[in-house]
Structure 1
């Protein structure tokens, strides 16, 4: 084999060698409980010293009781992501509980890093998402106890209690940190100029100012 052929073979195989190395490294540990005081990497938090890991690091009790729904939305979500449950670090799993008083709703929002699946535990909710690939068609369904629904990653979605009783929904995610962006907060809960909000949304500036005041925004 000539030196040119050897060089070409080396360049061709190098990426696969690197991938193999990192794949093997990722499988070399059973778990990586997050050290929330450490730094984050693209794949998650740095690991807690395994010598300090206990069974409690793999248990989370925060979803047993419901959240307070005495707020403007008459609903509240309790997350179980890596920030609350460090044992999820690197496992591509997370969960949440949403509690709804009658008439309550989790407003339009997105999870940029994960799809979501919800399971109705109590009551009934109307849920849906907006798909850009089908000209912003809205897929909406009233779900009763025991039913599940999925929301594809990054798409705007919501859940609302359209029944007469309290409702409880559990959600699961395919990422330990799915991220969340509330659409109303993104528009009206910050210092985004009222003039620019009006121009970019076609919402009357007086209404924009009203919503900013309601949601704690300025500008």
Structure 2
């Protein structure tokens, strides 16, 4: 864990100098609350009276313990978005802890509202993203080691795979308080109600039996 202080310093410096994707706040703090009484609705959340805020509203302890990687993907993402960390509301930033078992995968997904900056703390990760049709779906990929940082541009499909023989750990910062996650396989083949097989057979140019098989699978969510 010797790289942990360095990783947080890198993330802090990078996000402090970047422009947030979310609208800039017009007040110092706007801690999200589920109680709409005497509250103001801002950025999709109700904000408590700032005079009632305490230090506890600005601390998140969910990164203290490793995520459970005993699942079909061998990975666990522990998010710290406004949904889990109310003090982030209106601040245009969030984070995540990513734990990987050997061979663990954070499957291809996108963040529709945020760019992601990832730093490896332990282990070895193969990462990559694919550009849009406009840039001919170009694939960029790199093997990362402890201390390495990689950026995934907003909205582009990307992944992380532990290629080492030991567990891996990474942290990411995202340029939105609620960047969202769309896991490609889950969304396409696990949609409820299901997407028409006629659409998917033509889109993927495969036999209907293949589509039926994929739609019948259990698509695990590691978030």
Q: Fold-level match, TM-score > 0.5?
A: yes
TM-score, reference length from structure 2: 0.80
The Cα shift of 1:26 comes to 4.7
The Cα shift of 1:51 comes to 3.4
Instruction: Name the structure 2 match of 1:74.
Output: 74
Counterparts of 1:22-61 in structure 2, within 5 Å, are: 26-27=25-26, 29-38=27-36, 43-61=43-61
Do the aligned residues in 1 keep the contact of 2:112 with 2:179 (CA within 8 Å)?
yes
Instruction: Name the structure 1 match of 2:162.
Output: 161
CA distance in 1 between partners of 2:131 and 2:25 (Å): 35
CA distance in 1 between partners of 2:218 and 2:206 (Å): 16
Instruction: Name the structure 1 match of 2:174.
Output: 173
Do the aligned residues in 2 keep the contact of 1:44 with 1:90 (CA within 8 Å)?
no
TM-score, reference length from structure 1: 0.82
Instruction: Name the structure 2 match of 1:14.
Output: none
List alignment gaps of at least 5 residues for structure 1.
1-22
CA distance in 2 between partners of 1:63 and 1:164 (Å): 23
CA distance in 2 between partners of 1:137 and 1:115 (Å): 18
Do the aligned residues in 2 keep the contact of 1:188 with 1:215 (CA within 8 Å)?
no
CA distance in 1 between partners of 2:185 and 2:95 (Å): 23
Distance 1:142 1:183, change over 3 A: same
Once the two structures are superposed, residues 163-197 of structure 1 have per-residue CA deviations (whole angstroms, 9 ceiling, x without a partner) of: 11100110100110001100001111121123321
Instruction: Name the structure 2 match of 1:5.
Output: none
CA distance in 2 between partners of 1:41 and 1:158 (Å): 34
Among 188, 193, 196, the residue aligned to 1:193: 196
CA distance in 2 between partners of 1:194 and 1:159 (Å): 29
Do the aligned residues in 2 keep the contact of 1:67 with 1:76 (CA within 8 Å)?
yes
Distance 1:37 1:66, change over 3 A: farther
Distance 1:41 1:151, change over 3 A: farther
Instruction: Name the structure 2 match of 1:15.
Output: none
The alignment status of 1:139 with 2:137, answered yes or no, reads no
Report how many aligned residue pairs link the two structures: 193
The Cα shift of 1:42 comes to 7.0
Residue aligned with 1:215, SS? coil
The Cα shift of 1:40 comes to 9.3
CA distance in 2 between partners of 1:115 and 1:172 (Å): 8
Instruction: Name the structure 2 match of 1:9.
Output: none
CA distance in 1 between partners of 2:25 and 2:166 (Å): 47
Q: Which of 42-51 and 139-148 deviates more?
A: 42-51
CA distance in 1 between partners of 2:205 and 2:35 (Å): 43
Question: Which structure dedicates a bigger proportion of its chain to helix?
Answer: 1
List alignment gaps of at least 5 residues for structure 2.
1-22
Alpha-carbon RMSD: 2.2
